């Protein structure tokens, strides 16, 4: 068994090279994977992460500042079965369930990504933007939106559970 990850009582795998500031304000529901060099900023406000989530290598998860009261922050909620790619900056108010976020994505302060969305690699979404459910966001200008089929939710659930099981088998050998 490798010592690169810490396995929690709720079956989360957290890299020893990940940084979680303000751990008392960070809630991870279970069966999630937090990779190397991930920085979760619980010291700034509440961060909630659902089940079967993956936070990719080098990503930043930071609750955004409140628009009127700069000393406070808006809680950041990431739904279940959500994949965050490598080197992402997540400063959103909410990321829904069954969301796939590619590598090098920047989510602006207080934006909301609804359920069943795909944000392709390299996209930058501005502050206070709301992405509707079943939407694919592509191109660098992030103005190209495509509607996704209802079957996406089951596909993303299956992918997240399968990838967790594969990671678990690899880790425990």
DSSP secondary structure of 7-40? EPTTS-EEETT-EEESGGGEEEEES-EE-TT-EE
d(CA 78, CA 64): 13
Residue 162: strand, helix, or coil: helix
Tokens of 26: 């960070």
- Look over the chain and give the mean of its residue pLDDT values, rounded to a whole number: 94
Burial of residue 108 (CB within 10 Å: 0-12, 13-18, 19+) is middle
DSSP string over 42-67? TTSS-EEEEET-EE-TT-EE-PPBPS
pTM here? Answer: 0.93
47 bridge partner residues: 26, 76
Per-residue pLDDT reduced to its tens digit, 24-60: 999 999 999 999 999 999 999 999 999 999 999 999 9
* Residue 125: C-alpha distances to residues 59, 61, 63, 129 (Å): 16, 15, 15, 7
Per-residue pLDDT reduced to its tens digit, 77-121: 999 999 999 999 999 999 999 999 999 999 999 999 999 999 999
Contact between 164 and 33 under an 8 Å Cβ cutoff? The reply is yes
């Amino acid at each position: 068994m490798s010592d690169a990850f810490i396995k929690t009582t709720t079956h989360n795998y957290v890299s020893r090279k990940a940084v979680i500031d303000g751990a008392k304000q960070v809630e991870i529901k279970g069966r999630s994977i937090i990779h190397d060099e991930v920085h979760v900023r619980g010291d700034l406000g509440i961060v909630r992460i659902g089940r079967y989530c993956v936070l990719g290598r080098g990503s930043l998860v930071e609750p955004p500042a409140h628009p009127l009261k700069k000393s406070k922050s808006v809680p950041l909620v990431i739904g279940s079965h959500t994949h965050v790619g490598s080197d992402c900056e997540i400063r959103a108010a909410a990321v829904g369930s069954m969301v796939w976020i590619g590598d090098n994505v920047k989510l602006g302060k207080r934006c909301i990504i609804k359920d069943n969305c795909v944000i392709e690699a390299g996209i930058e979404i501005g502050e206070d933007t709301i992405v509707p459910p079943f939407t694919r966001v592509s191109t660098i200008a992030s103005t190209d939106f495509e509607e996704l089929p209802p079957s996406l939710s089951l596909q993303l659930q299956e992918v997240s559970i399968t990838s967790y099981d594969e990671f678990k088998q690899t880790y425990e050998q």
